[in-house]
């Protein structure tokens, strides 16, 4: 765990594969044809909640315990499309044993189109 700092931004990139989408469909039961049948370009649409794992990966890197996540899905994500997420701490309040924070995450494709935004409230426990 590193101490969160207001204004600090962290970044994570990922490109989902057809196999990622297939495994998520098997795990969750979200196996609609749009997630299982490739389009004319061989792509399938990534499940929204699989896309939402990108902000959770950023939180995991800093041992975040989220209490609230407000997700706004702006446009579909397809396999083979690189998505970049940037998480910025808006507020950080230090307590004796933890940091309480709010952050905003913006996820974009390579064309600069926003695919997902997230506002998160949570905490990070201080190390021993």
- Could you read off the pLDDT of 75-123 as tens digits, one per residue? 999 999 999 999 999 999 999 999 999 999 999 999 999 999 999 999 9
Kindly list the strands in the beta sheet with 98-109, ordered across the sheet, starting from the edge strand earlier in the chain: 9-15, 82-94, 98-109, 114-125, 65-73
Name the residue with tokens 């061989």.
42
**pTM listed for this prediction:** 0.91
Give residue 127's pLDDT band: very low, low, confident or very high (50, 70, 90). confident
Helices (H) and strands (E) in the chain, counts: 4, 5
Q: Which CATH number fits domain 9-16+46-125: 3.60.130.10, 3.10.129.10, 3.40.640.10, 3.40.50.720?
A: 3.10.129.10
Name the residue with tokens 């800093």.
62
For the chain, give every domain's residue range.
9-16+46-125
Give mean pLDDT, residues 54-76. 93
Nearest Cα neighbor of 46 from 82, 83, 78, 5 is: 78
At residue 29, the 3 state secondary structure works out as coil
What are 86's two structure tokens? 């940037």
């Amino acid at each position: 765990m590193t101490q969160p700092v207001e204004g600090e931004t962290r970044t994570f990139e990922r490109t989902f594969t057809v196999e990622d989408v297939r495994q998520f469909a098997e795990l969750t039961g979200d196996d609609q044809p749009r997630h299982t049948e490739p389009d004319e370009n061989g792509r399938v649409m990534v499940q929204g909640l699989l896309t939402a794992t990108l902000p959770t990966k950023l939180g995991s890197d800093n041992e975040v315990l989220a209490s609230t996540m407000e997700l706004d899905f702006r446009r579909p994500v397809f396999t083979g499309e690189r998505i970049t997420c940037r998480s910025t701490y808006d507020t950080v309040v230090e307590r004796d044993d933890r940091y309480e924070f709010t952050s905003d995450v913006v996820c974009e494709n390579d064309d600069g189109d926003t695919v997902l935004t997230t506002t998160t409230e949570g905490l990070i426990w201080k190390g021993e």
